[in-house]
Amino acid sequence: MVEDESLLTKDRFGELPMQRKPASVDDYLAPLSADTRAALEGLRRVIKAAAPNAEECISYNIPTYKLDGKMIMSFGAAANHCALYAGAHPIKAHEAELAEYDTSKGTIRFQPDHPLPDALVRKLVKTRVAERGPKRTKR
């Protein structure tokens, strides 16, 4: 799913190619194939709209969104799929709507040509934000 192989570097064992650590979400998306990039840019747009106060950053080398310092959601591209890391609670809460996707405890895997519907991503984000709760102030 990487188009520009010049952005690859060898892993710590000097054998397997891996992407260099991205400095921004745009850097993460840049080397991806057009269909993968489009699917992930769609996730990015919906997450930012559903959680406008969330901070966009790179954590564990993937695009991540934090609200009040707490991680709410991440996404990424793997060799054979894209993934939304929504957390266990949102996935369980929307289990029926996610039936056609490959899920595990906190991950939803999908093909770039079959992205998650915007309405479902909004629900997942809203569920995750509600789960994280409001920012608490110290007394």
Q: Answer whether residue 139 is part of any domain.
A: no
Q: Judge if pTM exceeds 0.85.
A: no
pLDDT tens string 4-58: 554 444 444 444 445 578 999 999 999 999 999 999 999 999 999 999 999 999 9
102 DSSP β-pair partners: 109
Instruction: For residue 137, give both structure tokens.
Output: 């102030």
Residue 121: give its domain's CATH number. Answer: 3.90.1150.200
pLDDT, residue 133, reads 74
Structural domain includes residue 109: yes
Task: Say yes or no to pLDDT of 69 above 60.
Answer: yes
65-104: b or e for each residue (b if 16 or more CB lie within 10 Å)? bbbeeebbbbbbbeeebbbbbbbeebbebbeeebeebebe
Number of domains in the chain: 1
Percent of the chain beyond pLDDT 90?
A: 76
